[in-house]
Amino acid sequence: MASSSPRTVEEIFKDYSARHSALVRALTYDEDDFYSQCDPDKENLCLYGHPNEAWEVALPAEEVPPELPEPALGINFARDGMNRKDWLSLVAVHSDCWLLSVAFYFGARLNRNERKRLFSMINDVPTVFEVVTGRKPVKDKPTAESGSKSRNSTKRSIDGQLRSNPKLADESYEEDEEEQGDTFCGTCGGGYNSDEFWIGCDNCEQWYHGKCVKITPAKAEIIKFYKCPSCQKKVRQ
């Protein structure tokens, strides 16, 4: 690692933020320019975000192993094979993965508490994917203290609505729909889909497809405090 590489939590986070800003600009404000540079007829191309907040579409590093982790290779090949918005979202997801890999590459020498602090700082920044897709960053996930799930036994219905106190459901539905976009089933790992019935564990706050934990909408209605299979197993042990 070069001597100029960021070493402290603050330096690494500053580097992360600059690269993050560059990638966001490439996929939003400079979208047309970025799109035109990703010609499928060219060789494998990568999207780089640099510490000076500049972005670049270029070939991957030739040296092996490279100085830093490399971004997703060949993003240009998928450009014309899918909807433009979906393609930009896909590049955004890979960009988020790359940003984390670079940050923790620099942070490999940090101790456990420093790594936790770095991750916490990064987690407060909306992901590139969230910005590109117009989703708001998830700042206040429901908890027993601040949210609806444990206190009001909120369950997700078959059509994506919330079933609990009617007032709470009306006030939180729009925000909840935005936040659930990055929710994954604790059993199968599948992403959130409002057309499917979901249920949240009131103990660990993990979400599940109803079919994966064998809970129907009707059964969820009469459950006052739902514990997922994992939490039930911990109780028995």
What residue ranges do the domains of the chain occupy?
9-133, 184-236
- pTM for this one? 0.57
Q: Tens of pLDDT along 82-119?
A: 999 999 999 999 999 999 999 999 999 999 999 999 99
pLDDT of residue 151: 32
pLDDT of residue 179: 52
CA distance 225 to 203: 8
Query: Which one of 3.30.40.10, 1.10.150.120, 3.40.50.150, 3.30.420.40 gives the CATH number of domain 184-236?
Result: 3.30.40.10
- Cβ-based burial of 131 (10 A; exposed 0-12, middle 13-18, buried ≥19): buried
HEC states along 109-124? HCCHHHHHHHHHHHHC
Q: Taking Cα atoms as reference points, which of 81, 61, 65 lies closest to residue 73?
A: 61
CA geometry: angle 121, 122, 123, nearest 5 deg: 90
Backbone torsion region of residue 214, taken as left when φ is above 0, otherwise alpha when ψ lies between -120 and 50, otherwise beta: left
CA distance 77 to 86: 14
Intervals of the chain under pLDDT 70: 1-3, 136-182, 235-237
